[in-house]
Amino acid sequence: MEAWAVEHWEWAVHKVIFWETDDAQKGRILRIVHYFLGYALIFLVAFSHLVYPAFWLQTATLFLVTCVWLQHVLFNGCVSSKVEQKLIGDTASFIDPVLQLFKLQPSQELTIFTLLLISTMATNILWLEWVARVHHKLFPMVSHLQVVLSKTE
């Protein structure tokens, strides 16, 4: 399944970036877009909690984070990173700065482990928060409904 996803994502990259003939340059373009979207998602999580904590925005953000996490789990890492690495011919990853912060040599296994660990923890925390907000919103409604139903009996 991982090979299928990488193959089809690479095909899509070649179709979308049709004007560029150099595979390494296509990989660099994909890496820039990938990093931008990754940092944009991190910014969206922070924005939806600190600046504009609307429930609908947090729900949409949770949906996006869950989709990214599922992609990481199902395909044993990030498909975009694998296509970037294949096109460019290097092993650089979105997670490398985190590993370098702790003076760890980035290997493929350590990178995938760190990616899965961070994305799983972040997704679980966001889900727990979302469930708590739903419970907080639903509990008064259910209590009120019980009072109304008990009065009608």
Per-residue pLDDT of the chain (153 residues; tens, 9 = 90+): 889 999 999 999 999 999 999 999 999 999 999 999 999 999 999 999 999 999 999 999 999 999 999 999 999 889 999 999 999 999 888 888 889 999 998 888 899 999 999 999 999 999 999 999 998 887 777 777 777 777 776
- How many domains, the chain? 1
- Given a contact cutoff of 8 angstroms between Cβ atoms, the answer to whether 28 and 88 are in contact is yes
Q: What is the pLDDT of residue 18?
A: 93
The reply to whether 146 falls in a domain is: no
Q: What is the pLDDT of residue 153?
A: 65
Q: What is the pLDDT of residue 79?
A: 94
The reply to whether 40 falls in a domain is: yes
Helix 2-16 / helix 23-50 crossing angle, nearest 10 deg? 100
The reply to whether 102 falls in a domain is: yes
Separation CA 33–CA 100 (nearest Å): 22
The reply to whether 142 falls in a domain is: no
The reply to whether 100 falls in a domain is: yes
Separation CA 10–CA 120 (nearest Å): 25
Query: For the whole model, what pTM was predicted?
Result: 0.83
